[in-house]
Structure 1
Amino acid sequence: MAQLDTLDIIVLVLLCIGTIAYFTKGTYWAVANDPYGNSLAHQNGGLKSTKSRNILEKMEETGKNAVIFYGSQTGTAEDYASRLAKEGASRFGLKTMVADLEDYDYDNLDSFPSDKVVFFVLATYGEGEPTDNAVDFYEFINGEDVSFAGGTSMEEKPLSNLKYVGFGLGNNTYEHYNLMIRNVAKALVKMGATQIGEAGEGDDGAGTMEEDFLAWKEPMWQALAESMGLEEREAVYEPAFEITQRDDMDPEEDLVYLGEPNKNHLEGNQRGPYNANNPYIAPIAESKEIFTTQSRNCLHMEIDVSGSNISYTTGDHIAVWPTNPGKEVDRFIKAIGLESKRHSVISVKGKDPTAKVPFPSPSTYDAVIRYHMEICAPISRQFVSQLAPFAPNEDIKAEMTKLGADKDYFHQNVADWKLNIAQLLEQQSKGEPWTKIPFSLFIEGLHKIQPRYYSISSSSLVQKNKISITAVVESVEKPGAPHIVKGVTTNYLLALKQKQHGEPNPDPHGLNYALNGPRNKYDGIHVPVHVRHSNFKLPSDPSKPIIMVGPGSGVAPFRGFVQERAAQAAAGENVGKTMLFFGCRRREEDFLYASEWEEYKKDLGDNFDLRVAFSREGPNKVYVQHKMKEAAAEINKLLDQKAYFYVCGDAANMAREVNTILGQIIAEQRGLPESKGEEIVKAMRSSNQYQEDVWS
């Protein structure tokens, strides 16, 4: 064999590198930074950088003495973590950083120095489950045989040096209220950690989350200051982000993000996996109105995911990525005096190496506000306080300060009217622009706009490449209120439906959505989506009976359940009793999928039992709870046969009442005390025989 000379080797190496680069599409080089301070790994829709997963190393490198870990599903816990970090730094001189739980390892927590502190801000998702980004941490900390890198045994209390602060986000309509923070706190204390202050618990079910957080953090800060020898100082706003106007760049340049979520989308190169950082721009195959009244809208949509490798199973959720309505974008831009600069290119960079810019950069003010900021959400009282120093004049400053300080006054004048940020600013200044507010403060103080999750209303067995959505379009008008509250995402979907049906100016309620997406890339009728898997599932054995309770759009997943069972029956499988309690106002107005139920009954026969409550057709209001009582004997009979019980819809009222009534039915039918019926329902929940897919 001939010897290879040096030139041959160099050529072969270059060919090898070129081949790898071609087939990996640059994946191995995606961790480099772009010229504007953003990690391309962050922009690349899920690609992870090779940064260290050692939190102690990270804190040492950046000179931090406090880390705030968050477990967040919708962004609220992440927002609270950021607010705590900012406040700890400005009021007490803490050197803080915010950290996503899934970005770090936990086996070195036993080496945590006693002069540093860890915060855990943890949301509980569904029935006592960790959020997606907290699963690994939760399983580690609650493991039967936790093993730390330092080799300390459980008997030696491995976390005896660890000081921690805890706050949980939960919903009291679920049985396992705030289970995450409770179980994590229990595990940490068992291993010797020291809890500073009381672990706080916010309640989304009671609508008091924000006030619970504000009430908890003041005594917490005092306890932490005492524990760590901190001195409070006058808090002065210091921007977390540096914003540079890029006069050298045109907004149409290829490097400028105009609402694209990551680099792949910017380059027009969609690729999976599709997730909460990387949506799939899916065609809407079909859309239609399924209410027959002119005063309300309910949409049925078929989202085409063929060719995307997106898969779902019956009972999963689809996430729709909304865009803010143009009407509110214009209001916001005008309120803060950015009309002349709305399309100016800006680069945004964290002033601290641990500060995470929540959107790609460079971008424009308009794109950031339209696609990345939750500008239509209710405002927090704390944020109002932060804005007060930047008021146009002293009178407005005094009023904003009062709103931020007085809980009752704030609720009477802001929260009860459901004002968004621009509406409040507009109202307070009577149209005078708030030009003194640093744009960084909005990046820090407003949530990143979050995908909205909808129960999938189709069966993956029947239509694996088309995902159905059933969504009531939100429009809440309060008498005397200056504004009607419009659902951001449902009205966006309504506008897409109007466009698909050829309406010349699709513009529900004058909201004016940018339906073609950034740079008009959403050709045709498209919507950004991804799928989130759920534990809300049919029994694996189709012969098991099921009982479903789903009034209004809560019937969505049950359309998928019944569709699947009808297909199984048509294929000759043994399908058990399928009982559905549905509620609506009137038979001729909002009886969702009325004709479809008749079709499914042809396949299921007597095994399909539909009970409908029409709440406004008679002299008295009739709800699904009443229909359940009428069918008490049949429900009990099916439960004796180990029927699975499902509830979908409003958590605060309907779901809670259904839970109570089921316990009463069991007790009455079996001649037991009511408390025993409650115990049986609780046991059904624990064994997954009772499942909920509910919302506040």
Structure 2
Amino acid sequence: MAQLDTLDMIVLVALLLGTVAYFTKGTYWAVQKDPYASAFTNGSAGKQGKSRNILEKLDETGKNCVVFYGSQTGTAEDYASRLAKEGSSRFGLKTMTADLEDYDYENLDQFPEDKVAMFVLATYGEGEPTDNAVEFYEFINSDDVSFSEKSSDETPLTTLQYVGFGLGNNTYEHYNSMIRNVSKSLDKLGAKRVGQAGEGDDGAGTMEEDFLAWKEPMWAALAEAMSLEEREAVYEPVFELTEKPDMDHEDDTVYLGEPNKNHLEGQSKGPYNAHNPFIAPIAESKEIFNDKARNCLHMEINVAGSNLSYTTGDHIAVWPTNAGKEADRFLDILNLTDKRNTVVAVKGMDATAKVPFPSPTTYDAIVRYQLEICAPVSRQFVSQLAQFSPNDAIKAEMTKIGNDKDEFSKQVAEKNYNIAQFLYYISNGEKWDKIPFSIFIEALHKIQPRYYSISSSSLVQKDKISITAVVESVEKPGAPHVVKGVTTNYLLALKQKQHGDPSPDPHGLNYAITGPRNKYDGIHVPVHVRHSNFKLPSDPSKPIIMVGPGTGVAPFRGFVQERAQQAKMGEDVGKTMLFFGCRNSSDDFLYKEEWEQYKSDMSGQFELVTAFSRESAQKVYVQHRLKERAEEINELLLQKAYFYVCGDAANMAREVNDILAGIISEKRGVSKQKGEEIVKGMRAGGQYQEDVWS
């Protein structure tokens, strides 16, 4: 019997280990062997066996200021980093930044009075927390929130002093709701807010100036609250960068743009997510505009064998690469062209500094694959770089621009400069070889994936994801440079290579199409999938109304494709109404032939309503078509139709919201206010859904 028990135990242990290996997709073992690689594969390092107790972390590292961030695209993380550096250099604070998902918050009631917590929180979508802030947000706003020692106390956070800044967009209904709701909860729990909670507005294009205007009075209030003395700000590097001239950049331990160790070793494996992309083959790509001045791409991305799955309405994230032209310009103005392949090791100057990419690497790889070198320049960064100017005259000019909002607008913002373009302009091409490279790693965002609405149905093609993207090219009168969309021009280059197109980009962009070490050869692109709440009703017989001008039609192609398939399968499919707008019927009428096929497949249940803005003397948009069909729209809504909007948030989506409220008010004989309340109720119940951008 004992022998049988031992055998049973061996079998059980083997089954347990196999189960762990299966459900972690091998990442459990990766944690044991290479925690750095694991941090990039599965998320932040705070979850890799490190303490989740923020008070312990503050004590261990001797910090008295923690800047928490809730960030979706990297902007909030950037502002958090800037606050931490400024607190250290100007006021002598011992600062650290912290990803909200890395820590637990039950012990905030023990937060020491002589320390301060800062919260930099972006509002995502329709008033939602960013992915990394969900747990914190749900905890702090819970009706029965409980802390470690003072759970019975109504104001358990009396020792916590905090600072708050929010990032929002006034084109959304729930503007800056994250910082507002978190501040309200912290105040209710007895925390002491230092200064006003700041609010930045991306919708008005004033985010940077809002931040700069907020932080000065905040620092004054904090200096008084903590008896801080301001000193002359001196640059103190967060990262140490060590050149390794004797190391070959082609050594197989050097990262040349690979996101983590598995990719470096050529053993990329899942799960694929926001920290670990799947290098997906592009099965098909084509141009779908008939306009020589503009490009719109349709691409089919093959995710077969990746274990990536999507449902109709989800988003695909594309990991971009900076254009070679911009990488060359950046390295040249810093006088680093001859050192582009020099191997460098990057490490944090203290235990809380998280290097945003793996090393050892090279200057070229950092600039090409890791940093947002094409992003707009911030006024604070101009001020910071002044001290490293090539000469005193340039330093004086930099200082003036950095300190004067109007001068900055005239010399930088209005000219659409990225950082290298600006440095060229202000120094007339003289090299900036005094700037420590670490400052760019600290001040520029890590390059972020760009999200696109998936334009296919998972019911029809589960292993191929369609995207529909206009190639961005923005010209501003008087600006010396055309702003080229980083990701869409990268996709255009991939499409051109796939088709053997010999025509070069008119602006001379070139890309490392085949990726680091030619690992993307054969037309591949790094991607992952982000799940969305933008979904068809579970019952296909429910009517739906969709409003999607331009590439806002992308997810609706997926919706209609799915309903057409359901109809072909014999299911009862409800009225499916799509309002689509573009310039004219010959140049940019997206998927024109497909709509006719879907109409046939759905036996008249699909209707396309078009608005061609440039085919008549009076411009006609989807908003006008909605008004024209007010009677039918109201009837469908009374039948509990779902209403969807995709596209520009600032103008179109806001107008559609107002028009719908007006339609309800007029057709039901109620006040405009009542119409607005009904639309709000539709939003709250998921009957009105938006997938919009600013």
TM-score (norm 1): 0.95
Residue deviations 1:170-210 (CA, integer Å, cap 9, x gap) = 11111111111111111111111111111111111111111
Aligned partners of 1:391 and 1:27: how far apart in 2? 46
**Matched residues, number:** 681
Task: Give the equivalent residue in structure 2 for 1:598.
Answer: 596
Matches within 5 A, 1:300-311: 300-311=298-309
Pair 1:237–1:147, CA change in 2 (3 A): same
Instruction: Return the offset for 1:150.
Output: 1.8
Q: Superposition pairs for residues 639-678 of structure 1, below 5 Å?
A: 639-678=637-676
- Distance in 2, matches of 1:597 and 1:49, equals 49
CA distance in 2, matches of 1:237, 1:337: 21
Output one character per residue of 1:186-237: Cα deviation in whole Å (capped at 9) or x when no partner. 1111111111111111111111111111111111111111111111111011
Q: What secondary structure is seen at the aligned counterpart in 1 of 2:306?
A: coil
Flag the 1:506–1:304 CA change in 2: closer, same or farther, 3 A: farther
CA contact (8 A) 2:288 2:590 kept: yes
Q: Which residue of 1 aligns with 2:352?
A: 354
**Is the Cα–Cα contact under 8 Å of residues 545 and 638 in structure 1 kept in the other structure?**
yes
2:145 aligned residue: 146
Q: Give the superposition deviation at 1:31.
A: 4.9
Counterpart in the other structure of 1:77: 76
Following TM superposition, by how much is the alpha carbon of 1:421 offset from its aligned partner in structure 2, in angstroms? 0.2
Q: Distance in 2 between matches of 1:167 and 1:25?
A: 38
Letter in 2 for 1:67: V
Q: 2:664 and 2:272 mapped to 1: Cα distance?
A: 44
Conserved? CA contact 1:256–1:361, under 8 Å: yes
**Matched residues in 1 for 2:364 and 2:601: separation?**
53
CA distance in 2, matches of 1:559, 1:29: 42
Matched, 1:39 2:25: no
Give the whole-Å Cα distance in 1 for the aligned partners of 2:220 and 2:492: 49
Query: Are the counterparts in 1 of residues 546 and 579 from structure 2 also a CA contact under 8 Å?
Result: yes
Aligned to 2:113: 114
Q: What amino acid is the match of 1:150?
A: E
Give the drift of 1:606: 2.4
Kept in 1: contact 2:25–2:271 (CA 8 A): no
Residue 561 of structure 1 is matched in structure 2 by 559
Measured against aligned partners, the alpha-carbon deviations of 1:443-496 in whole angstroms (never above 9, x if no partner) come to 111111000000000111111110000000001112221111100100000000
Q: Which residue of 2 aligns with 1:6?
A: none
Alignment of 1:123-202 (within 5 A): 123-155=122-154, 157-202=155-200
Distance 1:122 1:560, change over 3 A: same
Equivalent position SS for 2:587 = helix
Is contact 1:31-1:49 (8 Å) kept?
yes
The 8 Å contact of residues 473 and 485 in structure 2, kept in 1 or not, is answered as yes
**Match for 1:674: what amino acid?**
K
Q: Distance in 2 between matches of 1:543 and 1:27?
A: 43
- 1:236 corresponds to which residue? 234
The one-letter code matched in structure 1 to 2:149 is G
- Contact persistence 1:113–1:162 (CA under 8 A): yes
Partner residue, 1:93: 92
Query: Which residue in 1 is equivalent to 2:539?
Result: 541
Distance, in Å, in 2 between the alignment partners of 1:599 and 1:679 is 38
1:544-583 CA deviation, whole Å, 9 max, x = no partner?
1111110000000000010111111111111111111100
Alpha-carbon shift at residue 44 of structure 1 (Å): 4.2
Unaligned residue ranges in structure 2 (runs of 5+)? 4-13
Q: 1:52 touches 1:58 (CA, 8 Å); kept in 2?
A: yes
Give, in whole Å, the separation in 1 of the partners of 2:26 and 2:671. 67
Deviation at 1:19, TM superposition (A): 11
The reply on whether 1:321 has 2:326 as its aligned counterpart is no
The partner residue of 2:332 within 331, 334, 337 is 334
Residues 363 and 45 of structure 1, relative CA distance in 2, 3 Å threshold: farther
Q: Does the CA contact (< 8 Å) of 1:254 and 1:266 recur in 2? A: yes
Residues 611-645 of structure 1 deviation map (CA, whole Å, 9 limit, x = unaligned): 10000011111100011111111111111111111
* Two-structure CA RMSD over aligned residues (Å): 2.1
**Alpha-carbon shift at residue 28 of structure 1 (Å):** 5.3
The worse-fitting range, judged by mean Cα deviation, of 374-383 and 570-579 is: 570-579
Mapping of 1:524-539 within 5 angstroms?
524-539=522-537
Aligned residue number for residue 290 of structure 2: 292
Query: 1:62 — aligned with what?
Result: 61
Query: Could you tell me how far apart the structure 2 residues matched to 1:668 and 1:461 are?
Result: 39
CA distance in 2, matches of 1:19, 1:673: 63
| Whole-angstrom distance in 1 between the partners of 2:487 and 2:21 | 39
CA distance in 2 between partners of 1:549 and 1:503 (Å): 35
CA distance in 1, matches of 2:548, 2:19: 52
Shift of 1:665: 1.1
Tell me the distance in 1 between the aligned counterparts of 2:48 and 2:362. 26
Instruction: Give the Å deviation of 1:301.
Output: 0.3
SS in 1 for 2:252: coil
Residues 568 and 154 of structure 1, relative CA distance in 2, 3 Å threshold: farther
Counterpart amino acid of residue 234 in structure 2: V
> Could you report, residue by residue, the CA deviation over 1:314-370 in whole angstroms, capped at 9, with x for unpaired residues?
111000000000000000000111011111000001111101111101000000000
For residue 605 of structure 1, report the CA deviation from its aligned partner: 2.5
Change (3 A) 1:677 1:294: same
3-state DSSP of counterpart to 1:361 = coil
Contact 1:296–1:473 under 8 Å retained in 2? yes
Work out whether residues 457 and 467 of structure 1, in 8 Å CA contact, stay in contact via their aligned partners in 2. Answer: yes
Q: SS of 1:574's equivalent?
A: coil
Alignment of 1:136-535 (within 5 A): 136-155=135-154, 157-504=155-502, 507=505, 509-535=507-533
Structure 1 window deviating more from structure 2 (389-398 vs 549-558): it is 389-398
Distance 1:254 1:450 in 2: 25
User: What does residue 7 of structure 2 align with?
Assistant: none
* Partner residue, 1:8: none
Shift in Å, 1:20: 12
Contact 1:499–1:505 (CA<8 Å) still a contact in 2?
A: no
Q: Distance in 2 between matches of 1:187 and 1:595?
A: 53
* Cα distance in 1 between the residues matched to 2:213 and 2:541: 51
Distance of 1:268 and 1:224 partners within structure 2: 50
The one-letter amino acid paired with 1:153 is S
Q: Does 1:615 align with 2:618?
A: no
- The match for 2:678 among 677, 680, 687 is 680
Alignment partners' CA distance in 2, 1:218 and 1:387: 19
Describe the superposition over 1:10-36 as per-residue Cα deviations: whole angstroms up to 9, x where unpaired.
xxxxx99x99999999855645798xx
Could you tell me whether the CA contact under 8 Å between 2:25 and 2:270 is conserved in 1? no
Q: Residues 688 and 614 from structure 1, CA distance in 2 versus in 1: closer, same or farther, beyond 3 angstroms? A: same
Counting aligned pairs with the same residue, the percent is 75
DSSP 3-state at the match of 1:621: coil
Question: Structure 1 stretch 511-520 or stretch 661-670: which is displaced more?
Answer: 661-670
AA in 2 matched with 1:418: N
Letter in 2 for 1:359: F
SS at 1:251 equivalent? coil
Take 2:505 and 2:330, find their aligned partners in 1: how far apart are those partners? 19
Q: Secondary structure, in 3 states, of the residue corresponding to 1:590?
A: coil
Q: Distance in 1 between matches of 2:29 and 2:610?
A: 58
> d(CA) in 2 for partners of 1:137 and 1:359?
25
Residue 11 of structure 1 is matched in structure 2 by none
Change (3 A) 1:26 1:251: farther
1:45–1:261 contact (8 Å) kept in structure 2:
no
Shift of 1:414: 0.9
